[in-house]
Amino acid sequence: MAIIINLDVMMAKRKIGLTELSKEVDITMANLSILKNNKAKAIRLSTLDAICKTLDCQPGDILEYTEGPGAEIIND
């Protein structure tokens, strides 16, 4: 997949842990972990909205498009 989820980067910048973000966004830690580890196949816009509100960021700070073969294995 050519979409990279940089949730872990934003969480580190905002100094917020998985447990705290899970409570703030009202999403299970398991589902948040899937997003954080770039294993998600989809994300609801309402979830993205809640994450952006909590982390005070834009969707583009979390989602990144990378073109080319093997894009799914690229990690910054």
**Mind listing the pLDDT tens digit for each residue in 51-71?**
999 999 999 999 999 986 655
- pLDDT-derived band of residue 73, with 50, 70 and 90 as boundaries? low
pTM value > 0.85? no
CATH number for domain 3-68, candidates 1.10.3720.10, 2.30.110.10, 1.10.260.40, 3.40.50.180: 1.10.260.40
Please count the other Cβ atoms lying within 10 Å of the Cβ belonging to residue 33. Answer: 15
- Read off the DSSP letter of residue 25: H
- Read off the DSSP letter of residue 14: H
Q: Answer whether residue 50 shows pLDDT above 80.
A: yes
- pLDDT attached to residue 2: 87
Q: Residue 5 pairs with which residues in a beta bridge? A: 63
